[in-house]
């Protein structure tokens, strides 16, 4: 039985690698392929006693681990330079304003159509208003550097801001005052703790000289993330700041008292750590979407309300995004407007929202349809962008 388990795990990872290669050559989204594999594996895995319950319970765990690794990978790709401050400010503005406008529109629909209270509607709207960095960042690799960095900034901020808002809503007690108190207190405390813990983690990474260096570092990072979740803070801030500090020693040199920390950061250490994070991110991301496909009920896709809700959500998301990009970042509107996928963070927050709010069952199909269709739109836009590059090169 152990040998069979090892064989299945090895075959799964090799298949996932082949799927990733297929995406780069054919443009077929690996997210959808892995979900399809999960669907096809349902009969086999359900025939194995005890596997069904265990796999379904692993969806939120794999999602949380993947979210941390995705944000960390994105942060390790960002270089903080004076000439990029304007780009970061634009991306942050688009992320926050788009989130607020999308969430506001969906809240009004939730109140009118589903007869929810405003706080309940906001809890439901938040997952669908967040851009998933788990899908957006890998999907931006074919873009030019300017647009790719915009996606990294924007999707990371969207994840962090969305999670912070969601936590504040859940712990608000159903009042505006409670929400503002949770948001302000949690945001400020998260920033302070994120900075302190990030400095501590960077110090650990620069002082570790044993053969085993990175696993304890990642374990500490995940422990701090879990602690932040238990304290109702925004631990993704800590992940983002740690990655930024580790990859930007020049910026650290300008902070009082941290020059000695920056001097100890080795480019070789950072490079090796990046490779490890990329490998782990790949494994966890494909495993999560496999589990998501496995936990999907195809009957959810036969409900007309699921499709109608999905269409409304996507129309609002892309409409708001187009207007904002035309206003704030017109030079990259054509390449960025369709890069607004919903994915890992959307599913995670929705699962938590379903525990807090009584929701119609057809929304289980809606959340999966939103993920699948937004990923397809991303893939089609990427293929169209590649064709434009080829046509311009030929002409």
Question: What are the backbone dihedrals phi and psi of residue 172, each rounded to the nearest 5 degrees, phi first?
Answer: -80, -15
**Mind listing the pLDDT tens digit for each residue in 169-180?**
887 877 777 777
Burial code of 334-373, b = ≥16 C-beta within 10 A, e = fewer? ebbbbbbbbbbbbbbbbbbbbeebebeebbbbbbbbbbbb
Residue with tokens 């505006």: 176
CA distance 267 to 250: 12
The torsion angle over the Cα atoms of residues 360, 362, 364 and 369, rounded to 10 degrees, is: -140
Q: Determine the Cα–Cα distance for residues 63 and 333; give it in Å rounded to an integer.
A: 30
Among residues 85, 78, 74, 84, the alpha carbon closest in space to that of 139 is found at: 74
**Encoded tokens for 140:** 């931006």
pLDDT at 131: 93
Q: Which residue has the higher pLDDT, 259 or 154?
A: 154
d(CA 154, CA 152): 6
pTM of this structure:
0.83
What pLDDT is recorded for position 323? 95
Q: Which of 59-68, 107-116, 144-153 is predicted most confidently?
A: 107-116
d(CA 288, CA 58): 8
Residue showing tokens 């991303």: 378
Terminal CA-CA length for the chain: 59
Q: Which two tokens stand for residue 154?
A: 């924007």
Q: What is the pLDDT of residues 99-132, one digit of tens each?
A: 999 999 999 999 999 888 898 999 999 999 999 8
Set out the domains of the chain in order of their start, with CATH numbers.
Answer: 30-284+295-390 (1.20.1530.20)
The predicted-structure confidence for 175-221, as pLDDT tens digits, reads as follows: 777 777 777 766 677 778 777 877 777 777 666 666 677 777 788 88
CA–CA gap between residue 14 and residue 286 (Å, rounded)? 11
Banded model confidence at residue 373, pLDDT cuts 50, 70, 90: very high
Per the CB < 8 A criterion, the answer to whether 41 and 198 are in contact is no
What are 20-33's pLDDT values in tens digits? Answer: 777 777 667 788 88
Alpha-carbon distance of 341 to 333, in angstroms, equals: 16
pLDDT attached to residue 261:
66
pLDDT mean across residues, the chain: 81
Q: What number of helices (H) and strands (E) belong to the chain?
A: 19, 0
DSSP label of 232: T
Collect all residues with Cβ–Cβ distance below 8 Å to 368 and sequence separation of at least 6: 35, 292, 296, 300, 301
pLDDT exceeds cutoff 80 at 378: yes
Burial pattern 123-156, b for ≥16 Cβ within 10 A else e, equals: bbbbbbbbbbbbbbbbbbeebeeebbbbbbbbbb
Q: What residues contact residue 268 under an 8 Å CB cut-off, 6+ apart?
A: none
Contact partners, residue 244, CB within 8 Å, separation at least 6: 75, 78, 80, 251
Rg (CA), the chain: 21
- What confidence score (pLDDT) does residue 310 get? 96
Helix or strand (DSSP H, E) at 175:
none
Q: Strand ranges (DSSP E) for the chain?
A: none
């Amino acid at each position: 039985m152990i040998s069979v388990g090892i064989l299945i795990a090895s075959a799964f990872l090799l298949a996932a690698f082949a799927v990733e290669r297929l995406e780069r050559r054919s443009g077929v989204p690996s997210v959808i392929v892995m979900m399809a594999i999960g669907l096809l594996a349902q009969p086999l895995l359900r025939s194995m006693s005890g596997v069904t319950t265990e796999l379904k319970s692993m969806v939120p765990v794999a999602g949380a681990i993947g979210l941390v690794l995705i944000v960390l990978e994105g942060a390790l790709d960002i270089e903080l330079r004076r000439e990029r401050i304007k780009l970061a400010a634009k991306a942050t503005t688009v992320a926050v304003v788009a989130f607020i406008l999308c969430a506001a529109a969906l809240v009004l629909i939730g109140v009118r159509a589903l007869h929810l209270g405003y706080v309940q509607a906001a809890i439901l709207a938040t997952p669908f208003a967040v851009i998933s960095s788990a899908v957006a960042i890998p999907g931006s690799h074919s873009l030019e550097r300017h647009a790719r960095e915009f996606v990294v900034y924007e999707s990371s901020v969207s994840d962090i801001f969305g999670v912070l808002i969601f936590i504040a809503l859940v712990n608000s007690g159903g009042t505006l005052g409670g929400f503002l108190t949770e948001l302000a207190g949690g945001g400020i405390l998260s920033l302070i703790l994120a900075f302190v813990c990030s400095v501590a983690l960077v110090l650990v990474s620069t002082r570790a000289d044993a053969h085993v260096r990175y696993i304890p570092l990642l374990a500490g990072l995940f422990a701090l993330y879990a602690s932040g979740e238990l304290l109702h803070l925004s631990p993704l801030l800590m992940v983002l700041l740690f990655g930024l500090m580790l990859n930007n020693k020049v910026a650290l040199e300008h902070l009082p008292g941290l020059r000695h920390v920056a001097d100890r950061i080795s480019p070789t250490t950072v490079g090796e750590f990046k490779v490890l994070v990329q490998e782990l991110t790949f494994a966890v991301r494909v495993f999560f979407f496999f589990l998501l496909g496995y936990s999907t009920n195809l009957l959810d896709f036969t409900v007309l309300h699921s499709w109608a809700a999905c269409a409304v959500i996507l129309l609002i998301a892309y409409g708001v995004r187009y207007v904002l990009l035309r206003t704030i970042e017109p030079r990259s509107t054509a390449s960025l407007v369709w890069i607004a996928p919903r994915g890992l963070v959307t599913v995670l927050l929705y699962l938590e929202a379903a525990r807090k709010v009584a929701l119609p069952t057809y929304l289980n199909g809606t959340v999966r349809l939103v993920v699948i269709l937004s990923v397809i739109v991303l893939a089609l836009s990427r293929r169209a962008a590649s064709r434009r590059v080829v046509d311009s090169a030929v002409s």
